[in-house]
């Protein structure tokens, strides 16, 4: 009863506000100076229990046992004290050792979204448009809009591949994921090198959020090109999406510029537990490779199952499959799966509105998905 009364009072208040202060939905004076953007819409995060969540590309397995042990050993000091500046921490030291680079070549942020946002702000500072694909990570155009960066999208071809030739024109920078998201399609390192080589006057950012699940990293190109920045995340292959750890690797000057921008916005961006747990994850390389291998094997099995059910999809090198059914519309499948408490990702966007992005879960979760799909399609 109390909840009903509260909702009624809220509705009456809103109605009075509309009548008295916002007649005809007229724009307020102060709104003229608001920085307006169409926001990024993340995948659903349902609070229900006992669901199968295959919509946000999270790892279906727990983080490393070393991470879990370190969590148990933490005390209140990890919450009471400000964190260390992340450019000189055990996390940067272990990442530098793992990738055979200097600590000064690593930038750490609150998830790769924070890293990429800072990179947009720092490096895309030109009157010329930044290039990225028309079908890609849908945060790119949001950052470009909010930072007032001109951009130009380059259409993928009919097979959802990035065409190297489209990225050879004059521009203010280039960014794309490899493998691309949400398609999972991989671009060869040779083609990426051609793009980087052709644009020595701008920064080229390769977003390698999914590279651990297949394909070859372009990190070796850093030895030859000072305009290349490679961005990675702990959210997928390291099963630490909740810790929000992302990082970039580039030459020392690029990283110094990134840190200058970050510390001008917020000095203490990384929390102490995340820095410590991230270091433990990097140390446990055997577990990391075991989990990646499991997901790759399940993805390959899932491709066969989906094909047998009438789905088509490009070959994926991520921890997901981008699939369309030959007869049943993606929106219908999406809704019917939700009724069964199985969540996948669907976009109501041109060219991809009849595709579903299906995160690779455990074998048991995928079997439950296939059983549901058999009854739907």
Q: Where are the domains of the chain?
A: 52-61+286-376, 65-76+83-283
* pTM as predicted: 0.90
Between CA 87 and CA 208 the distance in angstroms is 20
From the CB of residue 99, how many other CB atoms can be counted at a distance below 10 Å? 18
- pLDDT of amino acid 25: 59
Element (H, E) at 246: strand 245-249
Between CA 273 and CA 243 the distance in angstroms is 8
From the CB of residue 28, how many other CB atoms can be counted at a distance below 10 Å? 9
Between CA 270 and CA 111 the distance in angstroms is 9
Cis amide prior to 191 (ω within 30 degrees): no
DSSP annotation of 166: G
**DSSP tally for the chain: helices H, then strands E:** 12, 13
* Continuous H helices in 22-85: 65-73, 77-80
Q: Is the dihedral of CA 107, 42, 185, 351 positive or negative?
A: negative
End-to-end Cα spacing for the chain: 43
- pLDDT of amino acid 86: 64
- pLDDT of amino acid 43: 84
* CATH code assigned to 52-61+286-376: 3.90.1150.10
**Angle at CA 367, nearest 5°, toward 353 and 357?**
20
Do residues 241 and 42 lie in contact, with contact meaning Cβ atoms separated by under 8 Å? no
Cis amide prior to 179 (ω within 30 degrees): yes
- pLDDT of amino acid 319: 98
Cα→Cα distances 27→10, 18, 24, 31, Å? 22, 12, 9, 7
CATH fold label, 65-76+83-283: 3.40.640
- pLDDT of amino acid 7: 41
Do residues 203 and 180 lie in contact, with contact meaning Cβ atoms separated by under 8 Å? no
Closest by CA to 229, choosing from 135, 145, 112, is 112
* Continuous H helices in the chain: 2-21, 65-73, 77-80, 90-99, 111-123, 140-146, 189-198, 252-263, 272-283, 285-308, 330-339, 363-376
Q: Could you say which residues of the chain have pLDDT below 50?
A: 1-14, 16-23
């Amino acid at each position: 009863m109390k909840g009903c009364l509260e909702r009624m009072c809220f509705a009456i208040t809103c109605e009075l506000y509309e009548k008295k202060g916002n007649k005809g939905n007229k724009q307020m004076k102060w709104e003229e100076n608001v920085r307006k953007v169409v926001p990024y819409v993340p995948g659903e995060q349902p609070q229900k229990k006992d669901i199968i969540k295959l919509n946000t590309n999270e790892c279906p397995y727990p983080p490393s046992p070393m991470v879990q042990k370190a969590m148990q050993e933490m005390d209140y000091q990890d919450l009471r004290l400000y964190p260390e500046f992340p450019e000189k921490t055990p996390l940067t030291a272990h990442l530098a050792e793992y990738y055979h680079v200097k600590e000064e070549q690593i930038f750490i942020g609150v998830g790769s979204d924070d890293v990429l946002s800072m990179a947009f702000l720092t490096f895309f500072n030109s009157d010329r448009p930044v290039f990225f694909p028309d079908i890609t990570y849908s945060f790119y155009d949001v950052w470009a809009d909010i930072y007032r960066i001109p951009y130009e999208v380059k259409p993928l071809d009919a097979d959802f591949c990035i065409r190297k030739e489209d990225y050879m024109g004059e521009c203010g920078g280039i960014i794309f994921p490899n493998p691309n998201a949400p398609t999972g399609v991989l671009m060869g390192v040779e083609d990426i090198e051609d793009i980087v080589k052709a644009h020595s006057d701008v920064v080229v950012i390769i977003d390698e959020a999914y590279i651990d699940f297949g394909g070859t990293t372009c990190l070796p190109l850093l030895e030859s090109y000072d305009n290349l920045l490679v961005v990675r995340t702990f959210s997928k292959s390291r099963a630490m999406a909740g810790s929000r750890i992302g990082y970039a690797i580039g030459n020392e000057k690029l990283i110094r510029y990134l840190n200058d921008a970050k510390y001008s916005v917020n000095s203490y961006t990384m929390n102490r537990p995340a820095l410590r747990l991230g270091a433990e994850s990097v140390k446990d390389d055997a577990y990391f490779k075991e989990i990646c291998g499991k997901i790759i094997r399940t993805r390959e099995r899932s491709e066969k199952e989906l094909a047998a059910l009438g789905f088509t999809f490009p070959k994926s090198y991520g921890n997901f499959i981008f699939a369309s059914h030959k007869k049943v519309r993606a929106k219908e499948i999406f809704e019917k799966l939700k009724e069964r408490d199985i969540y996948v990702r669907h976009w109501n966007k041109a060219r991809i509105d009849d595709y579903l992005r299906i995160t690779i879960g455990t074998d048991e979760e995928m079997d439950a998905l296939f059983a549901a799909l058999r009854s739907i399609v």
